[in-house]
Structure 1
């Protein structure tokens, strides 16, 4: 599969909106860290050692049935923008994009499976599925991992489990994470409590692009931090319980906002709709946050459901590297803001106007005796 083909077809998780849990869960991800027992780990390996490990690993990965007609490329053969596009699609990490020497990535056609070779570890195996489906993602990646283990000798210790470059990944070597859309908790100023509660029980809460990234578009990744001393199933079950509780809190927060601050919610959703439909300059941060509010409007029934485009896909298409590929040239930040606004106007032109309740349903009426007509 060519790079252009990869870009032409969006990942399954980007178009799986109908599988989201009540508009809260966007995607579920399982990632495994693995190393070969008789090769120097990538972080300490010299260039020729990294190439030797790559030459051993790549054929085994490409031969997987799941990778039939997939995308396989060494990172040093991709441009800086191409690598950034893969980061924006969550197919490689920022760390791998910045250290391409002796590195490669193999991706299946649906982009539900990507395997990074010579990132921090020899193998970073990742599966992303739409909606709240950690069990399905784990079963899938476990089959892939078992197939690779028959061909490659993993570094494993009976006491410490799978050996990894970073001690925090020892044991299962597994990170399970769920991407959540939490505008209700953000707007009601409860998100801080949720993050603190997750941290207290050994979970990490990060932004849209994982560790070190900002939580934009009201999107948060919740994942396990401990990988040693627990089985894979135990980790998944504990994370599932927390996610289920977070979903309930988010839906309750949305309901309360609509009961207590309906005018504020409708105003923000209406402004987001207007900005996205008609603005001619739009920064990345502003676009992400406005799309989040539009998604909230659809989930709450204030904007009719729209089937022409996935909002999850738009979150990727408005990122800097995707915009520059679209324009087929390097763009300054100011130019990207103009191209981004044009793209949003085009993509969202068929979105129906918000279906807001009338003022008799509780919104402020400037023509009523209680309204201040001089404001």
Structure 2
């Protein structure tokens, strides 16, 4: 075996209709599923594997013909393995700017892949839980997406897919350095595992900077909603491993799981302390956010995310019914620029998007009753004992 992965057999895949680009874009995001909406802190789990073909120049060094050969080889292998066989294969060159933007917003492709001009694409599984980018920084960027806190299930799915692909492709691998990658920071397992966390308690209480420093010292990294270089709109952060060489996949996942659980404990305690020390200020923030969302006529993307974040916190605190969490999670995605423009079926300038976003949110929150600030903290979110220090 080249790595420490276990070779568990894949389960039987259920029969699903073939994807088209239209049905993919019409389907809800992985952030808006019922399972994701039942979680107060972890919105989504993702695992990504970087892989390259042996004896083939990496995409950044390959000539046009070599890139095309690698693209066709990888795409053929993906179309031959389950569960990608019934998925959707898309060439970046055939996608419009708006279609690429929506795929980025849904975390199905990276911003880097969307900017690639030739011999690059993505294959997305029928249930949209797996996507494989071809000829981004590496020949293959395999990723598994799961709503909520599901590291084990995300790992099982991507492990099965990676093992199946190894039957069709000869990966670039070194006994000393593990999987060979375009960037040295991905050497070894080639794995980045992450969770998207909603951390408004830590942001409001001013503790997020301390958490980021502690996480960095543990060999983890904290990024914004759309990964490297993006801002943490809506108090949503991605926490992932930074070290891929010298640890097994199991060790990385175990260490990340421990860090995520600790951060979750700090977030729940931060919320409890905010309620104990100054509930009126916290409720004022939530009430003002509700009022703006019901009445505003211009909202940019960042402002909308921050307001929705406060209302999601209000749901977690019992100020709104738990059923409203799914509405908010859906609106996190539907208010992104690409999704707004697709709903209007045309490109819009920034002010037009801000007008449309505000109108959408006014209509949605006209259906939501005013917050009940006397509601107690739900039992599922009771303050936990002080978590371990990161």
Q: TM-score, normalised by structure 2?
A: 0.89
Q: CA deviation at 1:305?
A: 2.1
Q: How does 1:70-89 map to 2 (within 5 A)?
A: 70-89=87-106
CA contact (8 A) 1:304 1:355 kept: no
**Aligned counterpart, 1:117:** 134
Q: Secondary structure at the match of 2:47?
A: strand
Q: Secondary structure at the match of 2:60?
A: coil
What is the CA deviation profile of residues 210-248 of structure 1, one whole-angstrom value per residue up to 9, with x for unaligned ones? 111011100010000000000000000001111111111
**Could you tell me which of 343, 349, 354 is aligned with 1:337?**
354
1:162 to 1:308, Cα distance in 2 relative to 1, 3 A: closer
What is the CA deviation profile of residues 135-163 of structure 1, one whole-angstrom value per residue up to 9, with x for unaligned ones? 11001100000000100000000000000
1:41 to 1:134, Cα distance in 2 relative to 1, 3 A: same
CA contact (8 A) 1:15 1:310 kept: no
Q: CA deviation at 1:357?
A: 2.4
Q: Does 1:8 align with 2:16?
A: no
CA contact (8 A) 2:48 2:193 kept: yes
**Aligned counterpart, 2:123:** 106
Q: CA deviation at 1:68?
A: 3.9
**Could you tell me which of 289, 292, 297 is aligned with 1:275?**
292
Q: CA deviation at 1:313?
A: 2.4
**Could you tell me which of 321, 337, 345 is aligned with 1:320?**
337
Q: C-alpha separation between the residues in 2 aligned to 1:83 and 1:60? A: 23
Gapped runs of 5+ residues in structure 1?
359-375
**Could you tell me which of 52, 59, 63 is aligned with 1:42?**
59
Q: C-alpha separation between the residues in 1 aligned to 2:368 and 2:76? A: 46
**Aligned counterpart, 1:159:** 176
The 10-residue stretch of structure 1 (302-311 or 318-327) with the greater mean CA deviation from structure 2: 302-311
**Could you tell me which of 193, 196, 205 is aligned with 2:213?**
196
Runs of 4+ in structure 1 off by over 4 angstroms are 17-21
Q: Secondary structure at the match of 2:142?
A: strand
Q: Does 1:174 align with 2:194?
A: no
What is the CA deviation profile of residues 75-116 of structure 1, one whole-angstrom value per residue up to 9, with x for unaligned ones? 000001111110010000000001131001011122111000
**Aligned counterpart, 2:166:** 149
**Aligned counterpart, 2:234:** 217
- Root-mean-square deviation (CA, aligned residues, Å) is 1.4
**Aligned counterpart, 2:316:** 299
Q: Does 1:240 align with 2:257?
A: yes
Q: C-alpha separation between the residues in 2 aligned to 1:12 and 1:221? A: 15
Q: CA deviation at 1:312?
A: 2.3
Gapped runs of 5+ residues in structure 2?
1-18, 376-390
Q: C-alpha separation between the residues in 2 aligned to 1:343 and 1:49? A: 47
**Aligned counterpart, 2:304:** 287
Q: CA deviation at 1:13?
A: 4.0
Q: C-alpha separation between the residues in 2 aligned to 1:19 and 1:308? A: 6
What is the CA deviation profile of residues 226-272 of structure 1, one whole-angstrom value per residue up to 9, with x for unaligned ones? 00000000000001111111111000000000111101111110111
The 10-residue stretch of structure 1 (342-351 or 298-307) with the greater mean CA deviation from structure 2: 342-351
What is the CA deviation profile of residues 256-295 of structure 1, one whole-angstrom value per residue up to 9, with x for unaligned ones? 0011110111111011111112211111111000000000
CA contact (8 A) 2:37 2:329 kept: no
Q: CA deviation at 1:19?
A: 6.3
Q: C-alpha separation between the residues in 2 aligned to 1:103 and 1:138? A: 25
Q: Does 1:262 align with 2:269?
A: no
Q: Does 1:352 align with 2:377?
A: no
CA contact (8 A) 1:178 1:222 kept: yes
CA contact (8 A) 2:315 2:325 kept: no
Q: How many residues matched?
A: 357
Q: Secondary structure at the match of 2:101?
A: helix
CA contact (8 A) 1:177 1:224 kept: yes
Q: C-alpha separation between the residues in 2 aligned to 1:14 and 1:167? A: 35
